[in-house]
Amino acid sequence: MSKLTLNVTGMTCAHCAQTVQKALDALPGVSALVSYPQAIAQLQIDGEPNLQVLRDAVRPKGYDLQPLQSQPTTPGHQSALKIAIIGSGSAAFACAIRAAEEGARVTMIESGTIGGTCVNVGCVPSKIMIRAAHVAHLQRHNPFDGLPNLEPRIDRARLLAQQQARVGELRQAKYEDILAGNPNIELVRGKARFEDAHTLLIARADGTEQRLHADRILIATGARPAIPSIDGLAGVPYWTSTEALAAEQLPEHLVVIGGSVVAVELAQAFRRLGARVTLLARSTLLSKDDAELGAQLAEVFEREGIDVRLHTVPQRVEFDGARYTVHVGDERVVGDTLLVATGRTPNTDTLDLRAAGVETHANGAVTVDEHLRSSVEHIYAAGDCTDQPQFVYVAAAAGTRAAINMTGGDAKLDLSTMPAVVFTDPQVATVGITEAQAKAQRIDADSRTLALENVPRALANFDTHGFIKLVAERSSGRLLGAQILSAEGGEIVQTAALALRNGMTIAALADQLFPYLTMVEGIKLCAQTFTKDVHQLSCCAG
């Protein structure tokens, strides 16, 4: 009979000690007593101890065993939990900051630009560009009789310089400065892949390789533009959203392949900045949302001069050095620039996830539960590389909750009241479920749609394009969802999200005080249409 005492790393609570003890006791001839306060395991073993066998028993659970340190540990001086984070975007930083606050030692691994998609090539530059395009549009087409419409002089190079300067400022303030100021977060430059469930191999730019062991690992590698399989596309210099946002010159005629968020946002922005635009959508615009949203948005686009072609599948792309030709059946669409905006694909193909036993969907997205755990207990994932909605605020919330769970807490990510916004004009904003989704879930639902011509602020703005739709459970009146096509729709939808989260009914919304004149008052007016004819109400009628 041998006696052995080992340090246990990775424990964050007394329950962890029970888990380690159970794993060790399951080994033949091993009896264990594990102490969380002392961070040790005291073992009695029949025969000679085999440290590797013991470690293999606890590692799948997220823990490790080490030879006993010369100095005894106490609850306040345990070896810090070691967390590795692959990526440096919003999910990664949210996790790193919270984990460091909880006392963990965090290593962040990044091979590219700090900050990920949102600040560098996504949300921030796109919204700056969209706002500039909106101002240009108002110069041409303001609705007020006493203000002359003027053709704007657009200097794309200066717009781009201003845009990228703000991107750099935000990256510095919100990412690089935070990293530099937190001694518990270390940045390692290189490309990571799994050697096993606890070990990462990091390939550096100089050709060397570093091996990193961690108690917990977060996969936060984001996503990249997905490229469809179209004959000839691979051989031509097309744009993705990355190149479009960084373009120094405006195209004469932009052909956009795609009909979802990125496609519609950039199509309208380039049109408003002066380009001709043809939009080729495989089905409808925003096909995953309520059908009326895409239908009315298409009408807006066509009024602005965008050539919208629905249910259009390109068969072949050609490029002669100056012009692109997209073959669609017997038709040809010719332009000087081609933008491919057909969704995004997770950046997981180089991680060797099989070596760690991490399960993914067919497209490579990491499967996670509501605690952000992957199929391996101590490996978590957050952000666009997972099967969750690809929004930066979802990524950040997931990263924070992953850190809480990694360090012994119990946090879930509830997406049932997640608002979503498409930054076209009018904006598309949604939360909760649609009528079709309610029907699929066998919920007896009722709905009302309020045209914006019934919202006093929209009338005062001389901009009544769009609608507000509310979906409710018929029996209880409980709000189930909202679909909005409106100027400032992204601001309006948060009221519906809060109402949904707090279980409000249509009657309660109709009775709530809303300020006049505001666009969000349309929520109250739409709620009133469930029981009243709003045409018969005076302004701001209660």
Catalytic residue ranges:
11, 13, 16, 63, 118, 123, 539-540
- How many residues comprise the chain? 542
Q: Look up tokens 């962890």; give the residue.
A: 16
Q: Is the peptide bond before 233 cis (omega within 30 degrees of 0)?
A: no
Closest CA to 470 of 446, 497, 444: 446
Q: Distances from the Cα of 200 to the Cαs of 11, 127, 188, 233, in angstroms?
A: 20, 36, 12, 35
Sheet holding 479-486, edge to edge: 420-422, 427-432, 479-486, 467-473, 445-451
Q: Distances from the Cα of 439 to the Cαs of 434, 448, 471, 483, 503, in angstroms?
A: 9, 16, 11, 16, 19
In angstroms, rounded to a whole number, what is the distance separating the alpha carbons of residues 156 and 173? Answer: 26
Specify burial of residue 447 (Cβ count, 10 A radius: 0-12, 13-18, 19+): buried
Contact call for residues 306 and 279 (beta carbons, < 8 A): yes
Q: CB neighbours (10 Å) of residue 336?
A: 14
Q: What is the dihedral of CA 474, 420, 394, 174, to 10 degrees?
A: -150
Task: Give the helix ranges, DSSP H, for 220-325.
Answer: 241-245, 261-272, 291-303
Neighbouring-strand partners of residue 43 = 4, 32
In angstroms, rounded to a whole number, what is the distance separating the alpha carbons of residues 70 and 73? Answer: 9
Question: What is the per-residue burial (b if ≥16 Cβ within 10 Å, else e) of 64-79?
Answer: bbeeeeeeebeeeebb
Look up residue 424 and give its amino acid: T
In angstroms, rounded to a whole number, what is the distance separating the alpha carbons of residues 479 and 205? Answer: 53
Q: Distances from the Cα of 540 to the Cαs of 270, 456, 492, 509, in angstroms?
A: 38, 8, 17, 14
Contact call for residues 326 and 319 (beta carbons, < 8 A): no
